[in-house]
Amino acid sequence: MPALKLTYFDLRARAEPARLMLVQAGVDFEDKRLPAPWDDMAPWTELKPKTPFGVLPVLCVDGEEICQSMTIMRYCAHTYGLGGKNALENAQMDEIVDSIQDMVEKQYKAYLFEKDEAKKAELQKDFNEVALPKFLQQLEARLSKRGGDYFVGSKLSYADIMAYNFCSELPDKAAVTKTPNLSALVDKVANLPNIKKWVESRPKTVC
């Protein structure tokens, strides 16, 4: 088995997707956590120049370093049985995951990055009242078209786990009640034994 080390801050944020893949697949890995930059900047300041792109997370696989959160997630998914069986299935999964990431960035901007209070309120309003409901409907349509149980290939894949992670990180988790198939999928993933155990025992962090 390769020696796997995932380095990130002590946050869920951009590393949780990869962690969830590894946890679901039952793969051993070192879950290295640096203090969040706003708690203690020093460890990250020291490590940053030693990383390939000056950003986290970084996955170390048998001495090879891989960066970029979605690349890491995808690598873990494909290596440990959560990918598709051909390029088309993988593309269908990627489509879901990339669309989710677009929304995640919108959410980050509205809830974390925007500093101007008035602009922030406007962005949050747009996110919750316009962008998110529309997006959830689009996901529901895609899911229903594929049979309603899983996003791709009638089996659990990284698309389903990413959808679960996204929905469980929403400011208003009740937003998914209007999309029944998606809501059922989120519950199903939440109750997978490995995921359930991980979520109950993982460090409790602000994001």
Partner 1 sequence: MGKVFGKLKKSNNIKLTYFDFTGRAEVSRIILTYAGVKFTDERITDLAAIKEKLPFGQLPVLYYKGVQISQSMAIARFLANEFKLAGRNNLERAQADEIVDALVDLFNKGFEVMFSQGSAEETQKLRKEYHRTVDTELEKLERRLETRGGQFFAGNALTWADIQFFCAVDFLRMMESTAVEKYPLLADLNKRIGEIPNIKQWMETRPQGGH
State the minimum distance, in angstroms, from the CB of residue 3 to partner 1: 14
Which residues inside 36-55 make contact with partner 1, applying CB under 8 A? 52-54
5, 32, 60, 79: which one contacts partner 1 (CB under 8 A)? Answer: 79
71, 154, 194, 205: which one contacts partner 1 (CB under 8 A)? Answer: 71
Check if the beta carbon of residue 81 is closer than 8 Å to that of residue 101: no
**Residues 55, 41, 14, 50, CA torsion sign:** positive
| Buried b / exposed e along 179-188 (16+ C-beta atoms within 10 A) | bebbbebbee
State the minimum distance, in angstroms, from the CB of residue 65 to partner 1: 9
Which residues inside 137-196 make contact with partner 1, applying CB under 8 A? 138, 141-142
Classified as helix, coil or strand, 31 is: strand
d(CA 72, CA 78): 10
Does residue 92 touch partner 1 according to CB under 8 A? yes
Cβ–Cβ contacts within 10 Å for residue 124, how many? 16
- From the list 35-43, 95-103, 166-174, 179-187, the region that binds partner 1 by CB under 8 A is 95-103
39, 46, 98, 122: which one contacts partner 1 (CB under 8 A)? Answer: 98
